[in-house]
Amino acid sequence: MKKIILAASFTAIALTSCTPKASTAAAPSLAVSTAEQIAQGKTIFENSCGRCHKLPDPTAHTSVQWVGIMNSMAPKAKLTDEQHQWVYDYVVSVKK
């Protein structure tokens, strides 16, 4: 009778854990508008987007549709790139 010795291998389960990237903590980047910028977007929207037609209903279009709409309307309203961004962020922030 042979003894079977099982070599218990202690596999150090050091799976490099995918620690979530030190997420959204910092980074006041260009990507996200602040509440003030969104508030400015609302003002710009109300002042600039009701001149040629009645003020559109922000909830009438999806955020994807708004990208295209803003691309065609921002130049009509003579918005700067920043204003374009703020107005966009405002309209998509208005969700039913």
Q: Does 38 sit near ligand HEC (CB under 6 A)?
A: no
d(CA 79, CA 83): 5
Phi, psi of 43 (to 5 degrees): -60, -45
Q: Find all residues with CB under 8 Å of 89, minimum gap 6, and list them.
A: 33, 37, 38, 41
- Is residue 49 involved in binding ligand HEC (CB under 6 A)? yes
Q: Binding to ligand HEC by residue 56, rule CB under 6 A?
A: yes
CB of 22 to ligand HEC, least distance (A): 36
For ligand HEC, the binding residues (CB under 6 A) are 48-49, 51-53, 56, 69, 72-74, 76-77, 79, 87
